[in-house]
Structure 1
Amino acid sequence: MARRRAETAAATAAGTTKDESSDTKLPAGRHFKPHRKTALWIKIVAIALSGVLVIGLGAAGLLYLKLQNNITTAPLNAALSPGKGNSSQQPEDTGSLQILILGTDTRAGANSEYGTLADSSGEGNSDVMLLMNISADNSQVSVTSFPRDLMVPIPDCKRPDGNVIYGQAMGQLNSALAGGPGCTVAAINDLTGLTIDHFMLADFTAVKELSTALGGVEVCVDHAMYDVNGSFLKLPAGKSLVQGEQALAFLRTRHAFGDASDLARIAAQQYFLGSLVRKLKSDGTLTNLPQLYTLADVVTKNLTIDQGLANVPAMVSIAKRLAKIDVANVAFVTVPTEPYVRDPNRVQLLEPAAGQFFAVLRNETPLTKVAPTPTSNSTVAPTASSAATVPATAEPTVPVAPAYDKSIQPITVTNGSTVAGRSLELIKALAGQGYTLSSNGGDIAAQNKTTILYGADMADVAHDVAVLFKISDSAVHSDPTVRGVKVVVGTDWISGVDFGTVTVPKDIVSSTAAESDQCLTVNPLYYTY
């Protein structure tokens, strides 16, 4: 043992050990492998990928900023007394969503090639008014067209430049754009009882550039034609791919199709949109980010939108929602109208069909029948037979003194449903419940929405009347000019004593985006041979 220690000490003094001085070295442990230099090609690839990543993120940021800088905004609701619908929030992935799409005929700026400011200056007039409604579950879309010469009340509005535009008791709906796009939003809110969430205002240039970015939209006409007196649209018989100037001419022509009326023009616009929807779906554009960016660039450069849409994520959210919807569930509707009583060249709402349709929109009643594709996380509500039965516990009934004497409460039923004698059925129902002082307030102009108004100290009676007729509390309002309680029956309640049954007007859907085998009928005055 002493000898081994001495050998070790001597070796240490010499600066080595026995093992180290031998020709055969011990193998290294498996966790301590010799260090190797990284291959040059790996370094080059890593640097290149890092560069691409930095450039890609930088480019994405620049593209985002470009889109943001393109955006022009205006207030969502320009009415001096906006009430509901005056806040502009970013759209969510679910929940009902209404977007008003407007086309202006202004000749200002880049649109001067289509005429002078004398033809249409400033905001212009609304050539196109389309209300797109996306259902809360993303299974249905309705696109409702409002005729440009529809006569409606126009509210007082504050323009984006701060000037006030005073409204009219009855004026053409397309003239509301003089108060800015938010004024048209306010007018349609008042007309329908809806609260529109967003708007998009496009001019002639937007239509041209968008149709070109899409590579054209397919249309079909039943005869070769040439609109020599208006848009100068020229098409051969059968199918054509229109884009740019030709797409704009197709949407602008007022005389070339059908009976040359504004309603025929609307039908052609709906036809074009149906074809556009089919193209977007078949090409996968709504889920293709590069293509979506191209469209977003065109859209943001040529549209005026409200503040809630003034960001790229909001637009992407809408595109994702639309991508989920079956084209057969994209329904096109024209608001029911009839000739205006004071001028047959204009139109007014046809009641009660218009009021019924607006109730359909407010209640999100489906207009088409194609069932949505079930999702993996969908749940089925338990049926009455499958629900657990809980034994009822008998409670002693305690008589409650009435809060008031029903027989002396003044209740008036006013008929704005356009159905003759409608008030009598409801007065009879009130009398059956003890409200024997009810009276007939007579017939008034059509009201799209049923309401209950009450005067001083009558809130409890109004609430009980609403419960009796199953009317929501949101329809009950205080009105100091009313003595007692006033039930105003609207076109959304044309029969029965229980409110809430929504009637879809017959043949309200003019077409769906799934209808691809039709050709528009050309006005014979514009035939070419």
Structure 2
Amino acid sequence: MLKAVGLGLAGLLVLGIGTAGWVYWHLNANIKSVDINSALGDDRPAKAVTTPTPSGTASATPLPTEAVNILVLGSDSRSGKENKALGGGSSTGARSDTAMVVHIDAGRTTATIVSIPRDTLVTRPSCPLSSGGSTSVAYGAMFNSAYSVGGPVCAVKTVESITDVRMDHYIEIDFSGFAKLVDALGGVTVTTDEDIDDDDSHLHLKAGTHHLDGKTALALARTRHGIGDGSDLGRIGLQQKLVKALLEQISSTNLLTNPTKLYSVADALTGSLTTDTGLDSLTELISLGESLKGLAADDVKTVTMPVVTAPSDPNRVVAEEPAASKLWKSLR
């Protein structure tokens, strides 16, 4: 996802398309942002330590010298006609349907994606509200309720609270944006290990390899009742497969030889994104994407935060300790 954002936009500039004023303005204006740093202030985990560059190793395009952690959310917002058609429900009460902490190492050669189950019970910290005031601390709250009560700011603060890992950036993509991205790439090929029969997500697939369009890929990312025990953990496994499949699709699609597809990918990406203010321009997204150009799908590791069944509710989970803390410590 992050690689597609930057490389797709960088490709436009390489082709010269991005130099057209109206194209640049359109793509740049697509991006929505939230000033998370100002909202949260200094009461946050420390930033990653910068690794000194060894003497005599300077290059024309030096790699970043510090690791970066990015909170990526898939929002189930029903706002807008397209999101309603794909997700149903009302336009209020959006939640973080998918939550992944993406850790990219200092040399941009490996990445780890950690999924946080939405059914995890956590202590949700007090979060500032854009309207003034703040939310109350909530004990034993559903993890994805943070986004519902306080938007991206509270989602970031809650993740930082339970992980003690600084989120350097925030990226959110909505229902219609994900579907449009998959369609712009020409679909995505995924192999499922079991039959999926889920009336809630309208997904019915036999076990095997399938080439999915955007709507069906979104249904796969959202399904849970038609697989395994119906828990969020089964859905996370499918989401992680989709991430890998998308990375492989991006790597195998030569966007530079197809300006029309290239523009479609860039438009789908920017039109569906909400970011922090550190990534809310084409220049910043391109810089991030170009730093990841050497990162292949095989260099990306996907894991899930270790959890166990919550003692208070068999339908919920809590972090498994000390395994969860050990995982988060490895990302600092």
Q: Can you give the 5+ residue segments of structure 1 that lack an aligned partner in the other structure?
A: 1-55, 363-529
Shift of 1:225: 4.1
2:284 maps to amino acid: A
Return closer, same or farther for 1:59/1:326 CA change in 2, 3 Å cut-off: closer
Could you tell me which residue of structure 2 aligns to residue 148 of structure 1? 118
Could you tell me which residue of structure 2 aligns to residue 300 of structure 1? 270
1:116 maps to amino acid: G
Could you tell me which residue of structure 1 aligns to residue 140 of structure 2? 170
1:60 maps to amino acid: A
The one of 41, 48, 68 aligned to 2:28: 68
1:324-383 per-residue CA deviation (whole Å, 9 max, x = no partner) reads: 113222000100111112212111111111111111111xxxxxxxxxxxxxxxxxxxxx
1:134-145 equivalent positions in 2, closer than 5 A: 134-145=104-115
Matched position secondary structure for 1:158? coil
Shift of 1:144: 0.5
Shift of 1:125: 1.1
1:4-23 equivalent positions in 2, closer than 5 A: none
Return closer, same or farther for 1:337/1:222 CA change in 2, 3 Å cut-off: closer
For 1:245 and 1:161, how far apart are their aligned partners in 2? Answer: 35
Q: Pick the structure with more helix per residue.
A: 2
The one of 309, 319, 342 aligned to 2:279: 309
**Normalising to structure 1: TM-score of the pair?**
0.53
Residues 78 and 159 in structure 1, CA contact (< 8 A), matched pair in contact too: no
Higher relative contact order (CA 8 A, sep 6+): 2
Shift of 1:57: 7.7
Return closer, same or farther for 1:288/1:270 CA change in 2, 3 Å cut-off: farther
1:63 maps to amino acid: V
For 1:293 and 1:164, how far apart are their aligned partners in 2? Answer: 41
1:90-105 equivalent positions in 2, closer than 5 A: 93-94=63-64, 95-105=66-76
Could you tell me which residue of structure 2 aligns to residue 279 of structure 1? 249
Is residue 2:239 matched to residue 1:269?
yes
Return closer, same or farther for 1:86/1:60 CA change in 2, 3 Å cut-off: farther
Matched position secondary structure for 2:292? helix
The one of 112, 121, 124 aligned to 2:84: 112
The one of 319, 328, 331 aligned to 1:358: 328
Shift of 1:233: 0.9
**What value does the CA root-mean-square deviation take over the aligned residues?**
2.5
Shift of 1:79: 6.2
Residues 218 and 239 in structure 1, CA contact (< 8 A), matched pair in contact too: yes
2:192 maps to amino acid: V
* Number of residue-to-residue matches in the alignment: 298
Q: Can you give the 5+ residue segments of structure 2 that lack an aligned partner in the other structure?
A: 1-15, 48-61
Return closer, same or farther for 1:277/1:58 CA change in 2, 3 Å cut-off: closer
Could you tell me which residue of structure 1 aligns to residue 211 of structure 2? 241
For 2:17 and 2:74, how far apart are their aligned partners in 1? Answer: 36
Matched position secondary structure for 1:274? helix
1:213 maps to amino acid: A
1:342-381 equivalent positions in 2, closer than 5 A: 342-362=312-332
For 2:210 and 2:292, how far apart are their aligned partners in 1? Answer: 26
1:472-492 per-residue CA deviation (whole Å, 9 max, x = no partner) reads: xxxxxxxxxxxxxxxxxxxxx
Return closer, same or farther for 1:346/1:195 CA change in 2, 3 Å cut-off: same
Larger Rg: 1
Shift of 1:78: 7.6
1:460-483 per-residue CA deviation (whole Å, 9 max, x = no partner) reads: xxxxxxxxxxxxxxxxxxxxxxxx
1:105-504 equivalent positions in 2, closer than 5 A: 105-110=76-81, 111-113=83-85, 114-117=87-90, 121-122=92-93, 124-162=94-132, 164-177=134-147, 178-222=149-193, 224-228=195-199, 230-285=200-255, 290=259, 293-362=263-332
Residues 80 and 156 in structure 1, CA contact (< 8 A), matched pair in contact too: no
Q: What percentage of residue pairs aligned between the two structures are identical?
A: 36
Matched position secondary structure for 1:257? coil
Return closer, same or farther for 1:337/1:107 CA change in 2, 3 Å cut-off: same
1:272 maps to amino acid: L
For 2:244 and 2:39, how far apart are their aligned partners in 1? Answer: 32
Return closer, same or farther for 1:149/1:353 CA change in 2, 3 Å cut-off: same
For 2:118 and 2:238, how far apart are their aligned partners in 1? Answer: 14
Shift of 1:162: 4.1
Shift of 1:241: 0.9
Residues 224 and 237 in structure 1, CA contact (< 8 A), matched pair in contact too: yes
1:208 maps to amino acid: A
Shift of 1:159: 3.1
1:127 maps to amino acid: D
2:36 maps to amino acid: L
Matched position secondary structure for 2:108? coil
Matched position secondary structure for 1:121? coil
Shift of 1:74: 1.2
Shift of 1:148: 0.2
Shift of 1:224: 5.0
Residues 198 and 224 in structure 2, CA contact (< 8 A), matched pair in contact too: no
Shift of 1:244: 2.0
Return closer, same or farther for 1:58/1:302 CA change in 2, 3 Å cut-off: closer
Matched position secondary structure for 1:165? coil
Residues 77 and 85 in structure 1, CA contact (< 8 A), matched pair in contact too: no
Return closer, same or farther for 1:168/1:222 CA change in 2, 3 Å cut-off: closer
Shift of 1:297: 1.6
For 1:329 and 1:250, how far apart are their aligned partners in 2? Answer: 24
Return closer, same or farther for 1:125/1:333 CA change in 2, 3 Å cut-off: same
Return closer, same or farther for 1:70/1:160 CA change in 2, 3 Å cut-off: farther
Residues 79 and 157 in structure 1, CA contact (< 8 A), matched pair in contact too: no
Shift of 1:80: 5.8
Shift of 1:161: 4.3
1:193 maps to amino acid: D
